[in-house]
Amino acid sequence: MQERLKELQTEALEKIAQAADLKELNDIRVSYLGKKGPITEVLKGMGKLTAEERPKMGALANEVRDAISSGIEEKHKQLEAAAVEAKLAGETIDVTLPGRPMKTGHRHPLTNVIEEIEDLFIGMGYTVEEGPEVEKDYYNFEALNLPKGHPARDMQDSFYITEEFLLRTHTSPVQARTMEKHKGKGPVKIICPGKVYRRDNDDATHSHQFMQIEGLVIDENIRMTDLKGTLQVFAKKMFGEDREIRLRPSFFPFTEPSVEMDISCKICSGKGCSVCKKTGWIEILGAGMVHPNVLEMAGFDSKKYTGFAFGMGPERIAMLKYGVDDIRHFYTNDVRFLQQFSIHE
């Protein structure tokens, strides 16, 4: 019996040494140490032993079991370590290999221009206001001194949704909404960037959807000279200190008097070239003193308060600033076009 136990130990330890993986090792454990294993089987013969021999044999059986379990434990550790090694070896990364460059996006040129204009006016104490793109006829036209049937509505062919609602044709309705919110109390000093829509056929200088930035200042004693000074600061900051501005009389129903502002042409410094159509001047924006009717309709006392407003198209500004010759480039998402502006971050 003693010999059989020793034999089992040697046999088991050999198998353990040869086990190739954890599963095989576990099988060995089950077969030798399990309740139905050979050791238990051998011990069934204990009955035939003398009272003296029995405890000795019991102790030996325990030794054999211990030897087998510690052999298994040891091997288990080895196999586990080997598995980790193999995994690490398989996942080795050569950090000296050159990387693959990732394409990064960058901001749209129009976003850059709009934020530049916003920053400039925020620096002069303006706040930014926004309004809905689906607008009421009232705010888009009526509150701006363009009653139904007014011939000047023809200047802006509109996308009507219902009788009452349309896609706004300019950002001026945000003026009307903001004034109304102020409930007749100044000062108001805002700029409003946003998308606008007109029934234009798209070509190099027209788009049925484009951007505008509107400015509005209302307070006591606001004069035309305040408007001119503000626009001068804007033009020089945006296009360069050497730019001159010129105001030409114009007409908008919501301003009186109304003007259009030109800046001296950067390309030819005012001498006349193809960009400025030989005039030396380039039209930039529309502006004027807020019409008393507009003030009154929004609840302001036009005897106490005066104001000025201006509106411009960021596309046009961006086209002049960066020499872009077709407004459609801003909307067709051609990466070759857009990539050129990554330096303007």
Binding residues for Mg(2+): 256
Cβ proximity to ligand PHE, 9 vs 255, nearer residue: 255
Examine residue 170 and tell whether it contacts ligand PHE (CB under 6 A). Answer: yes
Query: For residues 282 and 263, what is the distance between their CA atoms, to the nearest angstrom?
Result: 5
Is position 319 an interface residue for ligand PHE (rule: CB under 6 A)?
Answer: no
Binder of ligand PHE out of 193, 286, 307, 314 (CB under 6 A): 286
Residues near 8 by Cβ (< 8 Å), separated by ≥ 6?
32, 38, 39, 42, 64
**Smallest gap from residue 240 Cβ to ligand PHE (A):** 24
Closest alpha carbon to 115 in 214, 193, 216, 195:
193
Which residue, judged by CB position, is nearest to ligand PHE in the bound state?
A: 311
What is the contact mask toward ligand PHE in residues 188 to 227, using x (rule: CB under 6 A)? --------------------------x-------------
Name the token pair of 287: 């502006």
Cis peptide bond prior to 292, omega within 30° of 0: no
Which residues are CB-contacts of 75 (< 8 A; sequence separation ≥ 6)? 16, 17, 19, 25
5 or 217: CB nearest ligand PHE: 217
Does the protein bind ligand PHE through residue 314 (CB under 6 A)? no
Instruction: Indicate whether 172 belongs to the interface with ligand PHE (CB under 6 A).
Output: yes
Yes or no: say if 212 and 314 are a contact pair by the CB < 8 Å rule. yes
Give burial (CB, 10 Å; 0-12/13-18/19+) of 113.
buried
Instruction: For ligand PHE, give the closer residue by CB, 310 or 341.
Output: 310
CB of 281 to ligand PHE, least distance (A): 18
Q: In the complex, what is the shortest distance from the CB of residue 340 to ligand PHE, in angstroms, rounded to a whole number?
A: 29
Residue span binding ligand PHE (CB under 6 A) among the ranges 224-232, 240-248, 303-311, 317-325: 303-311
Contact residues: ligand PHE, CB under 6 A: 170, 172, 214, 252, 255, 286-288, 309-311
